[in-house]
Amino acid sequence: MSDKTTDKTKEPKSSITRRSTLLGMGAATGAGIISSVSPGFVRYAQAQTSEPIKLGFECHRTGIGASYGRWYERVANAAVKIINDEGGINGRPVQLIVEDDGTDPKRGAEVVEKFATQHKVDAVFGTLFSHVVVGAAPRAGELKMPYLVVSEGTHVSSGSLNRYCFQPGITDVRSQVTSMAPWITKNLGKKVTMIFPDYAFGYDHRDNLPPAIKAQGGQVVEMIAVPPTETSFTRYLPRIPTDTDVLYHIMVGPAVLTFVTELGQFYGSQRPAIFGFIDSVEAVNLATPQLGFLDGTYFWEGMPRYAQKDQSQWDKLYRAAVGVDDNGASKADPKDISTYAHMYGVWETLFTIKQAMQSAGYAGPKDKAKFIEALEAIEKFDEGRDHPQGDKIFNGKNHQAYGHQNISKVNGARMDVVHRTSIEDGMYEVKADYTKMSL
């Protein structure tokens, strides 16, 4: 996979620059600058007009994020195929390079280094789990490597990362929660109990739901944090207060089916209203017999897993391209349920990369700054083939996209959208501003 020949021709040149920086050590010279002033690097960049644009996909192929990783990879391949069939980006084909990070933050950081310095990619994208994003993002920033995540986490939007990190393909949790809280309190009830994973992703919910519910005159009566490695959940359930109107649940990882099953056994038919993030059943078949109790409960979905009556032509097209049937399962294997509610983010991110590279006239790594500025200049995305989930507003300051959210009701082992929020419902005051950071 690695480009050995270019590595070899480069060696003597970059060693000269390294020696000169060694002499002047103490001067602030980043690795990126070293390579960009290297003569070898410039020649490489000029000679590559027909060379592919390389995109590094940091994939959770193994570890606890594997079901997401597999589908993210399929979507990435499908999107890249379309981009290449239409002539690539700026006349150059796109080459996808995949590296597994094992859903591990240390390996994630190493993978970013590998992309930047061995594969010499033009951008890295696709990381999902928050802890991997947070572990890898500083290295991406210091290597001046554009890093576009599809994570939902608030790490990008809150301003805790750096100028090279973007989340243009999927709305962050804070906005999702803010936009849905009014619907929850109005339609399901005002006393809310939360069950969430006791780590970063869960904290995004823990920190943002209570104020949003409170703003609607409701109240979060109990917050139950479950360690991320937990494999059995029944013992947490008695902590749900009996006067709870709404049970709000979100769970990730391999144990999600156990969680929903045990919830069902605990409650049976006498249950409070239940509102969950689809993450709790993502990649899980709703037709599993133990999940019957979910009938009549509600889920957040980024993009509806089951094809809706008013399905847009874009959803139809996208669904076909990524090989998913009308029930959200793989066309090749109906037992293989997709992570449909999230994975569109990979597709939209890739088309965003294409859009920004085109408007920047991107010709090679020397144009990275222009690429970043082009991304920051984006203000909105229109619904269409490139953005099948719907239109979005993009904030160039905190590098975050804001879109519509779907609330779906489970009806006999399928889900139907009952409410779609407006983009404005999910807007909040943005304090972060990455554009003030240097490039």
Partner 1 sequence: MAFGPFLLLATLEGLLQAAVLTLTALGLSLVFGVMRVVNVAHGEFYMLGAVFAWWVASMFGMHPAVGFFVALIVSPIIVGAIAFASERLILKRLNYDPESTIVATIGMLYIIQQTTLLTYGPDARPVPAPFYYRIQLPWFGYSGYNLFVIVAAIVMLVAVWFVLSRTRLGLIMRATQFDRETAQAFGIPIERVYAFVFAAGAMLAAIAAVLIVPIRQAHYLMGLDPLLLSFIVVILGGLGSLRGTVVAALLIGLSDGIISVFFSPTLAKMISTLLVALVLVFKPEGLFGAKAR
Partner 2 sequence: MTASRTMRVIALHVAVLAALFLVQFVLPDYHYLAMTRVMVLAIYAMGYNMLFGYTGLLSLGHAMFFAAGLYGAGMTAYYTDLGVPLAFLIGICCGALLSLIIGLVALRTTGVAFMIVTMMFGQVAYLTITYFTDYTRGEEGLTMPASARNFDFLGLHVDLTNAVLRYNLALALLAITLFVILILVRGPMGRVLIAIRENEPRTLMLGFDTFRTKLGALVVSGTISAMAGAAYGLLFAYIGASFASIQYSIEALLFTLLGGAGTVLGPLLGSILMFYMIDIASEYTAAYLLVTGVALVLLVLFFPKGILGTIRERWLPWLP
Query: From CA 112, how far away is CA 421, in angstroms rounded?
Result: 35
Query: Concatenated DSSP letters for 166-230?
Result: EB-SS--HHHHHHHHHHHHHHHT-SEEEEEEESSHHHHHHHHHHHHHHHHTT-EEEEEEEE-TT-
- The least CB distance from residue 432 to partner 2, in Å, is 14
Number of residues that this document lists for the chain:
439
Nearer to partner 2, 99 or 282 (CB): 99
Which letter does DSSP use for residue 100 in this model? E
> CB under 5 to 8 A by kind: which of partner 2, partner 1, none does 231 bind?
partner 1
> CB under 5 to 8 A by kind: which of partner 1, partner 2, none does 139 bind?
partner 2
- By C-alpha distance, which of 345, 9, 355, 46 is closest to 167? 345
Query: From CA 412, how far away is CA 44, in angstroms rounded?
Result: 58
> CB under 5 to 8 A by kind: which of partner 1, partner 2, none does 392 bind?
none
Nearer to partner 1, 15 or 265 (CB): 265
- The least CB distance from residue 332 to partner 1, in Å, is 15
Nearer to partner 1, 62 or 216 (CB): 62
Nearer to partner 1, 61 or 419 (CB): 61
- The least CB distance from residue 96 to partner 2, in Å, is 15
- The least CB distance from residue 89 to partner 1, in Å, is 31
- The least CB distance from residue 189 to partner 1, in Å, is 19
Q: Alpha carbon of 115 to those of 48, 147, 213, 248: distances in Å?
A: 18, 11, 42, 39
- The least CB distance from residue 285 to partner 2, in Å, is 24
Kindly list the residues in this chain that would bind partner 1 in the complex (CB under 8 A).
61-64, 66-67, 69-70, 198, 225, 227, 229-232, 234-235, 237-240, 242, 254-258, 261, 265-268, 283, 288-290
Cα-Cα-Cα-Cα dihedral sign, residues 298, 303, 304, 305: negative
Tokens of 283: 């990649």
- The least CB distance from residue 432 to partner 1, in Å, is 31
Give bridge partners of residue 25 from the DSSP assignment. Answer: 27
CA-based R_g, the chain, Å:
22
Tokens of 35: 């390579």
Sequence-distant (≥ 6) Cβ neighbours of residue 268 within 8 angstroms: 293
Query: From CA 367, how far away is CA 353, in angstroms rounded?
Result: 13
Nearer to partner 2, 139 or 191 (CB): 139
Which letter does DSSP use for residue 329 in this model? B
> CB under 5 to 8 A by kind: which of partner 1, partner 2, none does 160 bind?
partner 2
Nearer to partner 2, 10 or 392 (CB): 10
- The least CB distance from residue 60 to partner 1, in Å, is 9
Sequence-distant (≥ 6) Cβ neighbours of residue 336 within 8 angstroms: 329, 330
Nearer to partner 1, 240 or 401 (CB): 240
- The least CB distance from residue 86 to partner 2, in Å, is 30
> CB under 5 to 8 A by kind: which of partner 1, partner 2, none does 237 bind?
partner 1
> CB under 5 to 8 A by kind: which of partner 2, partner 1, none does 319 bind?
none
Cα-Cα-Cα-Cα dihedral sign, residues 267, 268, 274, 280: positive
Nearer to partner 2, 12 or 238 (CB): 12
> CB under 5 to 8 A by kind: which of partner 1, partner 2, none does 405 bind?
none
Kindly list the residues in this chain that would bind partner 2 in the complex (CB under 8 A).
1-2, 7, 10-11, 14-15, 18-19, 21-22, 25-31, 34-35, 61-62, 99-100, 104-106, 109-110, 113-114, 116-118, 130-131, 134-135, 137-139, 142, 160-161, 198-201, 203, 227-228
Q: H/E element holding 93?
A: none
